[in-house]
Amino acid sequence: MSSGPYQSWGRIDFGPQIGMRFDQRLSPLPEVETGKSILPYGNGRSYGDSCLNTGGVLIDCRHLDRFISFDPESGVLRCEAGVLLADILDMAVPRGWFLPVSPGTRLVTVGGAIANDVHGKNHHRAGTFGCHVRSFELLRSNGERLLCSPAENTEYFQATIGGLGLTGLVTWAEIQLRPVANAYIDQEVIRFHNLTEFFRLSEDSDEKFEYTVAWIDCLAKDVSLGRGLFMRGNHAPEIARTEPKAPRDGPSIPIAPPLSLVNQLSLRAFNALYYHKQRGDDDNRQVHYRPFFYPLDAIGNWNRIYGPKGFYQYQCVLPMEGGEAGMTEILRKIAAAGMGSFLAVLKIFGDKPSPGLMSFPRSGVTLALDFSNSGGKVLSLLDQLDGITSAHGGAVYPAKDARMSAELFRQAYPRLAEFSKYVDPAFSSSFWRRVEGPASQDSG
Amino acid sequence: MKNIVIFGAYSAIAEATARHLAPSGGRFFLVGRDSGKLDQVAADLKVRGATETHVFASDLAVPAGVLASIEALYGTFDTVDVALLAHGTLPDQKACEADAGQTLAAFEINGLSHIGLLTLLAERFETQGTGTIAVITSVSGDRGRQSNYVYGAAKRAVSTFLDGLRHRLAATSVQVIDIRPGFVDTPMTAAFDKGPLWASPDKVGADIARAIEKGRTVVYTPWFWRYIMLIIRNVPAFVFHKTKL
């Protein structure tokens, strides 16, 4: 048993967690009390209960973090599953290589990136993280070590990518990095005034830009509904003028304040300021990759600003067909409730398929935003959002979720039955027990 | 290009320190008991920038292991720029109290092996006139406490040895660094409940790498332990003996 407390990023209380350290990839899985399930735990950046195992045991892989090999000619990296994406960047960028796919934080482990099949601003081009995984070793509770790749143990490969850590423990993985000339991004930021403009900008940009994403002001209503800033960028072919300095991380939030600092007033002020922060409608510049990809990593433990009760994040994807209407409906609901967050992120996913059976990203439009945990009020809003997502044939992202119904999960992940065959009988999670139950028990 | 030797190379603190040293290149000679674990650390350091890695499996708890590893080291490198001594175990204090054999074994691996290695290294470093000898001791050597004095006494012996060695080598440019970590969250301390005073190996490793670069003498890591130990050393015995420390 070792160092806790284990939490997920949303800081909602799911009960005490027990962890056991696993830091030698050749070791067998730790022995646990009979009847207790196990779940790999990385850096705890999933927002809800998918990385927690209340009543069971977490296999703490944070120190399973050694590089194994790297070929600077081909960009193929093999490393243990607890290596952080940040460590990969620190090692690889000076040698001209970059992550093939970057989520919104670099503080996730490789194992977590696989288990959640994470995506980034280049989904329309590169697909998910899983698309760039060449192989990995899966340690099963019966002691078997399966080498999984698109060609070998294919079913386990597909089930483990996006498999929420339930198919066994990934000890190491081999991923294909992508070449870059330097650490900089040529970035453009364009203001847009409503949702229709967002869709038009996206369509124009996805051809010419590897990275596209939009921030929207989810408190804006009526004609301004869906206004925001569209960010797009490419890896800089060369560094402009003098090399800009690499940014330093800012302060860390040392403790959780007794109350959430995120409320209607602070939100409205922040969102309006952010929307108007640049003078013109366009702003072009070269920036370091860190502020471009990971703006929130600069504030350590930013999740604490939501106070002791934590927060929910909601991320859904709606198919393109009817997507604009669906998003309009969702944004109206959020604006009317006045409960949105600092960061509502909007992005068009492309149609590159992931190898993962349970992968969340799929062709369509995705929205992600935080909600302070104000109890019943926010839960009922989220249920209403689920209703809209479900009616449009969309899906909610398990890595962000702490409350979706079993019914919605089943509907959104049609390959669930196939996936279940590869779930390791000794593995489970709080999330899995919540959504795996009979659909009829949940009202959604 | 620096030649770096690390004894106890897969201990959490040593590994973290090496990760901070590797990006500037360097040839590493890694000593520890288990060659499989040494190979894993070597591969990791190679990816992080080490230009060369050598591993030598040896049990430093016996004098023959100390001699063999120094012999192998100088069979590989002509000179050594940085020597980091990071091996050791956390003995079970209660078991040591009941068994002199265990007490002596704890002294062997946490004190005598260091003194043996340092004796052999000192001669080489004195001749070459430059380089850094860094040794991980412990804050527990600063004052004997009922809960941990076997370990503390072994570490204190090493600290005093380092004082003398530093004195002896003062006329050369050899740096002798005594690193005293406080509570570090490693496999060695897995059985303890962790509180706010606990530091990560990465934080401690960064401090050690910086101390090696800057050539410090006595380093408390994290820094606040210097002040905690200042207080603990100065608490009068009649008060101290009432505590459970």
Residue A244's pLDDT is: 61
Task: Check A3 against B198: CB less than 8 A apart.
Answer: yes
Whether pLDDT at A255 is above 90: no
pLDDT of residue A243: 61
Which of B12, B67, B21 shows the shortest CA–CA distance to B204?
B12
Q: Work out the average pLDDT over A34-42.
A: 96
Pairing of strands A282-288, A178-179: unpaired
Of B37, B43, B187, the CB nearest to A67: B43
Distance between CA atoms of residues A156 and A158, nearest Å: 5
The percent of residues above 70 in pLDDT, for chain B, comes to 100
User: Looking at the predicted structure, is the pLDDT value of residue A347 above 80?
Assistant: yes
Residue B212 pLDDT greater than 50, yes or no: yes
Percent of chain A at pLDDT > 70 equals 95
Strand A395-396 relative to strand B3-7, pairing: unpaired
A70/B12 Cβ within 8 A: no
Contact B44 A23 (CB under 8 A): no
pLDDT in tens, A386-432: 999 999 999 999 999 999 999 999 999 999 999 999 999 999 999 99
Does some domain include residue A335?
A: yes
What is the pLDDT at residue A342? 65
Which 3 state secondary structure label does DSSP give A90? Answer: helix
Residue A385: inside a domain, yes or no?
yes
pLDDT value of residue B168: 98
Confidence at residue A437, expressed as pLDDT on a 0 to 100 scale: 64
Radius of gyration of chain A from its Cα atoms, rounded to whole angstroms? 21
At A136 the pLDDT is 98
Domain spans in chain B, listed from the N-terminal domain onward:
3-240
Contact (Cβ atoms closer than 8 angstroms) between residue A366 and residue A317: yes
Listed residue (B91, B103, B206, B111) closest to B161, CA to CA: B111
Average pLDDT over residues A3-16: 86
Determine the structural domain holding residue A365 and report its residue range.
Answer: 184-402
How many angstroms separate the CA of residue B23 from the nearest CA in chain A?
Answer: 8
Residue A379 pLDDT > 70, yes or no?
yes
Q: Is the pLDDT of residue A441 over 80?
A: no
pLDDT in tens, A118-166: 999 999 999 999 999 999 999 999 999 999 999 999 999 999 999 999 9
Please give the pLDDT value at position B149: 96
Q: Is residue A62 part of a domain?
A: no
Average pLDDT over residues A355-367: 98
pLDDT bin (cut points 50, 70, 90) of residue A3 is very low
pLDDT at A279: 67
What is the pLDDT averaged over residues A73-92? 98
Query: Does the CB of B37 have a partner CB in chain A at under 8 Å?
Result: yes
Say whether residue B33 is in contact with chain A using an 8 A CB cutoff: no
* Contact predicate A200/A110, CB 8 Å: no
Q: Is A341 contained in some domain?
A: yes
pLDDT at residue A245 in the model: 65
Query: Is A26 an 8 Å CB contact of chain B?
Result: yes
CA–CA min distance B195, chain A (Å) = 9
B130 alpha-carbon distance from chain centroid: 20
Amino acid letter, residue A218 = C
| Tokens at A173, concatenated | 């993985």
Tell me: pLDDT of A111 over 90. yes
Q: Is the alpha carbon torsion for A24, B31, B110, B142 positive or negative? A: negative
Residue with tokens 């005598």: B112
Q: Is the pLDDT of residue B137 over 80?
A: yes
Predicted confidence at residue A440, as pLDDT, reads 43
Q: Answer yes or no: is A49 within a domain.
A: no
Candidates A2, A21, A70; nearest CB to B47: A70
B187:A91 CB<8 A: no
The mean pLDDT value for A35-44 works out to 97
Substitution target in A61, A67, A76 with the highest count of B β-carbons within 10 Å is A67
Q: Write down the pLDDT at residue A295.
A: 86
pLDDT tens string A159-211: 999 999 999 999 999 999 999 999 999 999 999 999 999 999 999 999 999 99
The two structure tokens encoding residue B2: 């620096």
Residue A439 has pLDDT above 60, yes or no: no
Is the per-residue pLDDT at A359 higher than 60? yes
Compare A225 and A96 and report the one with higher pLDDT: A96
Mean pLDDT of A347-366: 97
Scanning A62-91 for CB atoms below 8 A from B yields 63, 66-70, 77, 79, 91
In DSSP terms, which residues pair with A348 in a beta bridge?
A365
Task: List Cα–Cα distances, A14 to A86, A256, A397, B26, in angstroms.
Answer: 28, 17, 18, 47
| C-beta separation of A145 from A139 below 8 A | yes
So what's the pLDDT on residue A306? 87
Q: What is the CATH number of domain B3-240?
A: 3.40.50.720
Does the pLDDT value for residue A17 go beyond 70?
yes
Is the pLDDT confidence value at A236 over 90? Answer: yes
pLDDT tens digits for B64-86? 999 999 999 999 999 999 999 99
Tokens for A282, please give them. 């366009």
The mean per-residue pLDDT over the stretch A271-300 comes to 84
Looking at the complex, does the CB of residue B55 fall below 8 Å from at least one CB of chain A?
Answer: no
Domain count, chain A: 1
Asked if A23's CB is within 8 angstroms of B190's CB, the reply is no
Task: Dump the DSSP string for B44-107.
Answer: HHHHHT-SEEEEEE--TTSHHHHHHHHHHHHHH-S--SEEEE-------HHHHHH-HHHHHHHH
Confidence of residue B189 (pLDDT cuts 50, 70, 90): confident
Average pLDDT value over all residues in chain B: 95
pLDDT the model gives residue A168:
98
CATH of the domain at A259: 3.30.70.2520
CA B84 to the chain's CA centroid: 6
Band of residue A258 on the pLDDT scale cut at 50, 70, 90: confident
